[in-house]
Structure formats: C-alpha cells, structure tokens
Chains A and B, each alone.
Chain A
C-alpha cells in the first residue's frame, strides 16, 4: 500500500487506474480525529517518558486530524494512498475527486478553467491522464508554458528591482 509523496502524483495515478478499471475502482476518503486524551500506558507500545509530559504543555493545541485518500481496485489489487493534514488541500482534493468522478461516470474529460487558474501545476497532469491521444491540448500547453514563463520573469524582475531600491534607501 504505497503512500504517494504528492497529491499531484496521487491524482495522476488514480485517474489512470480509474480510466483503466472504471467499474471496480473506488476512492475512499478517510478523515480521522485522533484521541486527544493521553494514551493509556497499558495500551501504548512504548512507555512514554513520564518526566517530559508535565513539562510540555501541548494539551491546549487542537488535535491533529489527518485526511487519507485511497484509490483501490479490488480486482487487480492496486492500491494508491495519499495522506495530508493540511486544511488548505481539502478543497482542491475534493475538486479532484469530482473530476475522477467524471471519469468513473464515463463522461468526457472537461477542461476546468478554475483549476488551471488556481493550480497551474494541475493542468499538465490532466492532459497526461485524460487527453493522451488528443493533440488538441498541445496548443494550450504551449500557451500555458509561455504565460508561466512571463509571469515568473516578471516576478523575478520586480523582486530584484524592489531589493535594489531598498538597499539604496538604506544607504
């Protein structure tokens, strides 16, 4: 049961698995809140150092919940996993589940303008996974690439200029 390092690679692999086995593949999203109370010493595997517990007042912190995504095909036994604890990723992951749902429902792949704007990294993944044989996205890719390049250049230039001005002001 491999955990994939990034959400992007997880989604890419999941899309490939779903498009290969659309009927049997399922995506399970597990949201887990761990127990907040200190674990029973009888239950825990290793005895916690008793001296460190009172000295570290970590109790008021909110519990660290985790979100685990699992794409599993019981027929081939393929299992892909991704785990995160960042709230910022939830919206994007659910949106990606929606686009995976489109593949499951055997709907044609759809270009999502929102995704491209918000996460430019996502765009090439989709094209890889869904539009393999289609040559149409190429143009888009090129345009996207140029756009990104310009953006980066602009940012770099701006940043450099700002830095220079600051230095001059200080001296």
Chain B
C-alpha cells in the first residue's frame, strides 16, 4: 500500500483486467473491500488538528463526510505473495454515487461466471401449466359426459 492509491479511472481499468485475468485462467478469486478512510489512516499532514474525544464515539458524527477506501486484490498471499495484485483507490464522499455506478458495471461485466437468469425454467413451467389446464379441462369434460 506504500505505493499509494490509484485514481478512480485507473483503478476501474485495472480492476477490469484483474477480472479478465481470472476469467482467462478460469480459476481464482477477486477480493473487493470497502471501508471508511478514517483520519488515522491519513498521513499526519492531513490531520493537523488532533481529534478531541468530546464524545465516547466521536466517529459516529464526524463534522464532515469522510472518504471511502476501496481495495481489490487477487487473494494471493503467503508463498504466492509475489503474484499478488493489490489495487486501491480513495473515493471522496461526493464522488461516491458516480463511482459505484461505474464500479457496478465493471463488476457485472467481470463476474461472468455466475449463473445467468434462467428463463428456460419459466418457459417450461408455463408449458406445464398449459398442459395441466388442458388435461384438467379434459377430465371435467369426461365427468360431464
């Protein structure tokens, strides 16, 4: 993480390639983490005013919105650490909405191994219902006859 955070655009592009690499190997994981970037995580220059512990939980109502830290890794660690890919970016509070729209698109495109919505099942069901209805009518007719 010492290398610093990527810009939003760079992060999303590299995340897409990370997903793509998983797909080409057809195996592996992508880990995405989001958390608040609290003032303790910031370099000291950014927090020139020490936080007064005025309330027992000062983080519940911060005076201003805080940025969000987004991380992505391929989960390689221990003996495979040299293959590890780590990406991170910081999203300012006012950029959250736009970021998550694009983030969702990248994720939807990247997570292609998930089950697609099964429409064949619904069709089969419809057919079965029709058949049932038809047979039911037939039985009724027989009874009446």
- Taking Cβ atoms with an 8 Å cutoff, the residues of A that contact B are 21-36, 62-67, 84-88, 90-91, 94-95, 97-98, 100-102, 104-107, 166-167, 170-171
Nearest-neighbour CB distance to chain B for A12, whole angstroms, equals 18
Q: Give chain B residues whose Cβ lies under 8 Å from the Cβ of A100.
A: 34
* Residues A94 and B38 in contact in the complex (CB < 8 Å), given A30-B30, A35-B27, A87-B116: no
Contact A67 B111 (CB under 8 A): yes
Bound complex: CA of A91 vs CA of B101, how far in Å?
9
In the complex, what distance in Å separates the CA atom of A105 from the CA atom of B137? 61
Is there contact, CB below 8 Å, between A23 and B36? yes
Contacts of B96 in A (CB 8 A): 98, 101-102, 105, 107
B99 to chain A, nearest CB (A): 8
Count contacts between A and B, CB distance < 8 Å.
Answer: 137
Query: Do B32 and A28 touch (CB < 8 A)?
Result: yes
- In the docked arrangement, what's the CA distance between A117 and B64, Å? 31
For A23, A34, A36, which residue has the most chain B Cβ atoms within 10 angstroms? A23
Chain B residues with CB under 8 A of A90: 104, 107-108, 111, 114
Residue numbers in B under 8 Å from A62 (CB-CB): 113
Contact A101 B91 (CB under 8 A): yes
Provide 7 A-B residue pairs closer than 8 Å at the C-beta atoms, listed in order of the A residue: A22-B36, A31-B113, A65-B111, A95-B104, A101-B100, A102-B96, A105-B65
**Whose C-beta in chain B lies nearest to the C-beta of A171?**
B137
Interface size class of B (residues with CB under 8 A): 35 or more
With both beta carbons as reference points, the residue of chain B lying nearest to A87 in the complex is identified as: B114
Q: Do B113 and A65 touch across chains, with their CB atoms under 8 A apart? A: yes
Chain B residues near A23: list those with CB within 8 A: 36, 38, 59
Closest to A26 in B: B35
B 15-69 contacts with A by CB, 8 A: 19, 22-23, 25-36, 38, 59-62, 64-68
